[in-house]
Amino acid sequence: MGFMDGIVMSGVVILSADEKPYKTNVDCVVMSGMVVMPDDPSTTYICYWNDVTQKKLEPWIDIVQNRLVVIVDKLPKLSKEFKELIIIDKSLITVSEYASYDKALQAMFRYQDREYVFSLLVECKLPIPLALSWLETNRPQNAFLWRLLGDVAFTLPNRYAWSIMAFCVKPDGKNPKWPKRSKGKETEETPNFVRPTDEYWHLLATLDVDIRNEVRDTEDEPTKHIKGVRKEPTTQWL
């Protein structure tokens, strides 16, 4: 029986070169090497473990109940199958991986062979927030596309969103525009019900009419955060 047979994952293992983003939780244990059992469902475990290997990580996959963040200087050699079970932080993404992202993004807007585009998106595991920022810049008026993405992004497996990006984005052969960096994000005011640290709430509001309507219901000046003050109609399942 292989190490993944019969596993029911209740937590997540994260490989990262930077521990700072994961030290926000008050219930946090920092250790050098695996000296504490990471089985508390309310605790984030940060482990400095430079000589970690896939073989050493495998036994912990089905033990972690919340988050086990393994801090390393360099990403160890991992099988494709094992990468599906963990999260690799952007701090460990190599130049070649960024190049594969760029290739997939260029293909999404330019290539006619959409089966090939889909294979690129799946192969490089294009991050959904990254893809959405490019779509927001290059296909902002495609309402059908955004409705479909609103049904699946961040709720269903990424493969559904990649399928929509591959087969519902019409290629034009032109070089896509790079997303512009948002100005003043450090001081940007968020709606009362949104955490100030939530980097993707604008994207989520673009995708979800319920979020936009909640802004209109709860904010004195909703147009500071979204366009329009009139509530949008929604469709609900009975």
pLDDT of residue 71: 93
pLDDT of residue 55: 94
pLDDT of residue 8: 39
pLDDT of residue 182: 52
Query: In a structure prediction context, what are the per-residue pLDDT tens digits for the chain, which is 238 residues long?
Result: 344 444 334 588 999 988 888 887 568 899 998 998 998 888 899 999 989 999 999 999 889 988 899 999 888 888 988 888 888 887 787 655 667 788 899 999 999 999 999 999 998 888 888 899 899 999 988 889 999 998 898 888 999 999 999 999 999 988 898 887 654 444 467 777 777 767 677 777 777 788 888 888 888 888 877 888 788 887 655 5
Per the document, the length of the chain is 238
Q: Which residue has the tokens 């993404």?
A: 93
Q: Amino acid identity, residue 138?
A: N
* Helix, strand, coil percentages, rounded to 5, for the chain: 40, 10, 50
Residues 6+ apart with CB under 8 A from 232: 209, 212, 213
pLDDT of residue 3: 41
Q: Tell me how far the alpha carbon of residue 162 is from its chain's centroid.
A: 13
| Distance linking the first and last C-alpha atoms of the chain | 44
pTM of the model: 0.45
